[in-house]
Amino acid sequence: MKAVKCVATTAVFAAMIGLAVPITAEAAPQGSAIVAQSSVRTGQSAELTKAVEALTPYVHRQADGTFQLVAPDRVVRAVGSSMYTKIAASVQRVNAMIMAGELVSDASLAVRSSNPDALSTRTMDGSNGLSFHWWGIEVDLDSYWTNKLVSVINAGAGAAAVAAVLAGAGVISSPGAVPAGVVSGILWIGASAIQFCSNSNGVSLYLTYTGVPWCSGQ
């Protein structure tokens, strides 16, 4: 995960926030992406990115492949008790997916799909790919496919069109192979925020296992 220019909106499922002001799924204004962009320009820190970096040393893989997050009080205070609770909820979700056989972890805290044939990676003028982490899912798109994604969202296209872009980029093997929540997270980030994040250089889109999306430039 890149600790660079970040934009966050509140997720359909709700949990953590990154840079932007909190916006609930029920009350999210159409200009939420603009609000998020404004918060970046005023220099607010990437809370979620910093929290993940601060907590990673305190994530331990257990014998059954699940993760345990136990941070000392000083780290919890630094991250914020509310943020810590929300990240812990994401860990609970990934643990449930591991126990269900959907994901597999290793000793380095890396996480992968139990069905790797559904995923693929190829490169154009940047990098395209989909990867899993203890904190969530990452989708990387080069500038060409970022522009394609922005175009279909701006055109008012729905989930099927977004999934088709991901399949076209080689991130997934087919539109039906996209992990649950990824497309809704991308739609919540929005075209203008994705375009702002990418700065014409491609974009990395992030989604916690409890549904919070945010993005950064490649």
**Would you say residue 149 has pLDDT above 90?**
yes
Residue 208's pLDDT is 84
pLDDT band for position 126 (cuts 50, 70, 90): low
CA distances from 171 to 26, 126, 167, 178, 213 (A): 30, 13, 6, 9, 17
Residue 89, CB half-sphere, CA atoms under 13 Å: how many?
A: 14
- Comparing CA positions, the residue from 122, 143, 119 lying closest to residue 131 is 119
Mean pLDDT of the chain: 76
CB 102 within 8 A of CB 125: no
Residue 15's pLDDT is 31
Q: Where are the alpha helices (DSSP H) in 69-155?
A: 73-79, 81-99, 143-154
pLDDT band for position 207 (cuts 50, 70, 90): confident
Structural domain boundaries in the chain: 6-217
Query: Can you tell me the mean pLDDT for 34-38?
Result: 40
Residue 168's pLDDT is 92
Contacts with 201 (C-beta within 8 Å, 6 or more apart), sequence order: 126, 143, 217, 218
- Angle 69-74-105 (CA atoms, 0-180°, nearest 5)? 15
**Would you say residue 104 has pLDDT above 80?**
yes
Higher pLDDT, 174 or 80: 80
Higher pLDDT, 32 or 56: 56
CB 163 within 8 A of CB 156: no
